[in-house]
Structure 1
Amino acid sequence: MKLFNKYKFSDKSQTLGGMISTVMGLAALVSFGYGIYIAFQAKGNAGLEVGSLGLLSFMLSVIGLVIGLLSFKEEDKFYTFSRAGSLMCGIFAIFMIAVLMMGIV
């Protein structure tokens, strides 16, 4: 027996920046995963290709984080994608900073 029907009586939509941030976070994860795939195929001797994919995924996550945080300024919108994209990009940016620091040290 249903007690409540889930109707949405609102003309709000998701923020554009939140959707862009989420897509950029997913693109960062895909490029990082492809870099790992290339490194395994080359048995650890991938070199510049893997480094450039790692740098690309880091830049995508930082830019996605900034866009996601700026999207909270949009008024009268749903912020689900803003939260998800900002969180995903922020965690991945911190992860990539740690990976880059391990390569330096």
Structure 2
Amino acid sequence: MKVFNKYKFSNKNQTLGGTISTALGVLSLASLSYGIHISVVANGHAGLKVGTLALLSLVLAVSGTVIGLLSFRESDKFYGLSKVGSMLCGVLTVFMLAVLLMGV
């Protein structure tokens, strides 16, 4: 059985924007999930609480998308979290915009 050691011969780090973008994506997803939970518990009559959480989720997702895409400008860094954060926030932005447009 071969065991491969993973060595990192680089002083590169993840981009700061990618880390922030991923954190905003997780917060946006948590806000959306909590809003859905409140709506289910209240049998669809949650009102302003759910609307506020949905708007918060949308703002966090848009901010995370912008910050994540701008983080690709940082040079000599790893872009893994930038990709994850940008995609997560982008998907959440599209989803929340679709929900918003369905309600109009």
Tell me, yes or no, whether TM beats 0.5: yes
TM range (shorter): over 0.9
TM-score by length of 1: 0.95
Residue 93 of structure 1 corresponds to 93
- In the alignment, what sits opposite 1:30? 30
Q: Give the whole-Å Cα distance in 1 for the aligned partners of 2:41 and 2:18.
A: 35
Query: CA deviation digits over 1:9-32, x for unaligned, max 9?
Result: 000000010000000000000000
Once residues 40 and 100 of structure 1 are traced to their aligned partners in structure 2, the CA distance between those partners, rounded to angstroms, is 18
Runs of at least 5 residues in structure 1 that lack an aligned partner in the other structure: none
Quote the offset at 1:69 in angstroms: 0.4
SS in 2 for 1:61: helix
Runs of 4+ in 1 over 2 A off after TM superposition: 1-5
**How far did residue 5 of structure 1 move?**
3.0
What letter is aligned with 2:30?
V
Q: How big is each residue's C-alpha offset from its partner over 1:21-64, in whole Å with a ceiling of 9 and x where there is no partner?
A: 00000000000000011111111110011001000000000000
The Cα RMSD (Å) is: 1.0
Aligned to 1:102: 102
Query: How many equivalent pairs are there?
Result: 104
Q: Percent identity?
A: 61
